[in-house]
Amino acid sequence: MKIWPIFKKEMRLYATSPIAYVVFFIFLVVMGWFFSQILNYFAMASMRSAMNPSMGRDLNVTESVMRPLFGNISVILVLALMPFLTMRLLAEERQTGTIELLLTYPVRDWEVLLGKYLAVFGLYTVLIALTLLYPLMLAYFARLEWGTVLSGYLGLLLMGSSFLALGLFASSLTVSQIVAAAWTFGILLLLWVIGWGADTLGGTWGKVLQHLSTMEHNDNFAKGVIDTKDVLYYVNLTLLALFLAYRSVEARRWKG
């Protein structure tokens, strides 16, 4: 299989591209700010509870700090991270004309897609791993519920895998990286807010919208609940997006 050479090629491109470094820098700065503000609020709440013990019964560092942090990471993924990480995957190849050269090599379309997908997922995994500094810092001063923390990180990895696959699909549809980023942002935002209309519709359609909402499934992981339906949701969404990307590349090959 030719997945490994394509994977290495993509990782080299990320290592020499300013986009990856800019995304890393912005993400870590923003998340550091969020973490400091959440921690500061928790510290003030702890001080108030010391004077009024009844207020401190529900204080929990995992629930009060890590869960909001996971929520903020999810929002940043939709608004900034994913569109910029995935916009160049295939759109740049089509814009420069190298996609035709790549597809003439003795390599299958799905190997090209998987090589590119695994590269960007590897980059994303490194980025998420850097945020482990936050729970490690908290664990030094307070007792963390590591089961809930690890569940939250599992949710971020599964959600990220589906978001990246959707970004790859969006990048396969156009020659413009900006348009690819816009498509990715639009698709992810729609999946993020689609559940808001569930209560209004109610009934079967309300349940359908609620099931399609990425926010609904990610929230369970942040609570420390690993449900099979949530895992299958992200796995199925990832596979569907990769299949659509494959069909898009295949159609491009036949068009010449």
Predicted local confidence at residue 54, as pLDDT: 54
**Treating both helix axes as pointing N-terminal to C-terminal, what angle do 3-16 and 109-130 enclose, rounded to 10 degrees?**
50
Predicted local confidence at residue 253, as pLDDT: 61
Predicted local confidence at residue 140, as pLDDT: 82
Q: What is the mean pLDDT of each run of 10 residues along the chain (256 residues)?
A: 81 83 86 87 73 59 83 79 84 67 66 89 92 88 85 92 92 87 89 75 73 82 87 94 88 61
Distances (CA, A) of 90 to 23, 48, 127, 247, 248: 19, 53, 22, 13, 11
Q: How far apart are CA 244 and CA 170, in angstroms?
A: 9
**Global pTM value:** 0.88
Q: How far apart are CA 181 and CA 197, in angstroms?
A: 26
Q: How far apart are CA 47 and CA 61, in angstroms?
A: 13
Predicted local confidence at residue 217, as pLDDT: 83
Residue 240 — φ and ψ, nearest 5°?
Answer: -65, -45
- With beta carbons less than 8 A apart as the criterion, state whether 165 and 117 touch: yes
What are the structure tokens assigned to 119, written together?
Answer: 């590269």
Predicted local confidence at residue 236, as pLDDT: 93
